[in-house]
Amino acid sequence: MGKPFSILHISDLHRSPDDPISNEELVSALVRDRDQFSLERPTIPVPEAVVVSGDLIHGVPLNTADHAKELSRQYSVAEEFLDALAKRFLSGDRSRVIIIPGNHDIDWNTAFRAMQPVDVKDYPKNVASLLHQENSIYRWDWKTFTLYRISDPDMYARRLQEFWTFFKRFYSGMGGLHGC
């Protein structure tokens, strides 16, 4: 039997400059857990990769003035955290950090500016199936029970622009990543 492969999986970091828990405190807690697990029997190996599955940042409420600047600030905090995590767990090898965006990583201000609410009387007859089609122009908001239609596809495509800016900066200089 081969050597076990260990992965640290974390999510919902919700990093923000206003977070009461600092990056250092969060990394220290993870290091403490890692060190404790190494004492377990059988031993849990030190992680060889880190998977961060969504909600790296807290996100910005709708109608926030200069929302792009606030998103950028939050992504800077997230990058500092992930850099410290890579240094403490992976000898600084950022290529072993796998990042997947979540719903808080979306620029909802941009997304909502690119959509229009659909009046109930104008709902398509097959709205449920339309919502599930690939490349659908419809989105459902469970919070308000509102159907939206994407009216500006180019703007809607930019809803993850700040995430991709962060992503490219984090992986900058690494081969094999498109656009980095």
Which CATH number belongs to the domain containing residue 34 in this structure?
A: 3.60.21
pLDDT tens-digit map of 147-160: 999 999 999 999 99
Nearest alpha-carbon partner for 26 in 46, 45, 5, 8? 8
Task: Check pLDDT > 70 for residue 1.
Answer: no
One domain, residues 147 and 65: no
**67 and 140 together in one domain:** no
Are residue 104 and residue 123 in the same domain, yes or no? no
Rounded mean pLDDT of 53-80?
96
Residue of 158, 174, 162 whose CA lies nearest to 76: 162
Q: Does some domain include residue 179?
A: no
Would you place residue 178 in the very low, low, confident or very high pLDDT band (cuts 50, 70, 90)? low
Cα–Cα–Cα angle for 72, 73, 78, rounded to 5 degrees: 90
Judge if 30 and 102 occupy the same domain: yes
Question: Of 61, 71, 82, which Cα lies nearest the Cα of 165?
Answer: 71
Q: Are residues 85 and 165 in the same domain?
A: yes
What pLDDT does 177 receive? Answer: 61
Residue 59, amino acid:
G
Does 177 fall in a domain?
A: no
Give the pLDDT of residue 22. 96
- The number of distinct structural domains making up the chain is 2
Q: What is the mean pLDDT of residues 111-133?
A: 96
Q: Which residues, including other chains, have CB under 8 Å from residue 82's CB and lie 6 or more apart?
A: 52, 56, 94, 97, 99, 170
For the chain, what is the mean pLDDT? 93
